[in-house]
Amino acid sequence: MKKAIIGKKLGMTQVFSSNGTVIPVTVIEAGPCSVVQIKSQEKDGYEAVVVAYGAQKASRLNKPKLGVFKKANVEPCKILRELKFENTADYKVGQVIGCGIFAEGDKVDAIGITRGRGFTGVIQRWNNQRLKMTHGTGPVHREVGSMSANSTPSRVFKNKHMPGQYGCERVTIQNLEIIKVDPERNILLVKGCVPGPKGSVVTIREAVKGE
Round to whole Å and give the CA distance between 48 and 84. 5
Q: What angle do CA 92, 95, 96 make, to 5 degrees?
A: 150
Q: Identify the pLDDT of residue 19.
A: 87
Whether the Cβ atoms of residue 178 and residue 189 lie closer than 8 Å to each other: yes
Residues 6+ apart with CB under 8 A from 32: 53, 96, 97, 98, 186
Q: Identify the pLDDT of residue 211.
A: 60
The mean-pLDDT minimum among 108-112, 149-153, 180-184 falls in: 149-153
**Is residue 79's pLDDT more than 90?**
no
Q: What are phi and psi of 43, to 5 degrees?
A: -90, -40
**Is residue 3's pLDDT more than 90?**
no
Mean pLDDT over 157-176 rounds to: 92
* DSSP run (H or E) holding 64: helix 63-72
Reported as a pLDDT band with limits 50, 70 and 90, residue 191 is very high
Residues 6+ apart with CB under 8 A from 70: none
- The full set of domains in the chain, from first to last, is 4-117+174-206 (2.40.30.10), 118-144+159-166 (no CATH)
Mean pLDDT over 182-211 rounds to: 89
Q: Identify the pLDDT of residue 162.
A: 93
Q: What percent of the chain has pLDDT over 90?
A: 38
Q: What percent of the chain has pLDDT over 70?
A: 99
**Is residue 138's pLDDT more than 70?**
yes
**Is residue 89's pLDDT more than 80?**
no
Q: Identify the pLDDT of residue 146.
A: 83
Could you report the per-residue pLDDT of 45-78, keeping only the tens digit for each?
888 888 888 888 888 888 888 888 888 888 888 8
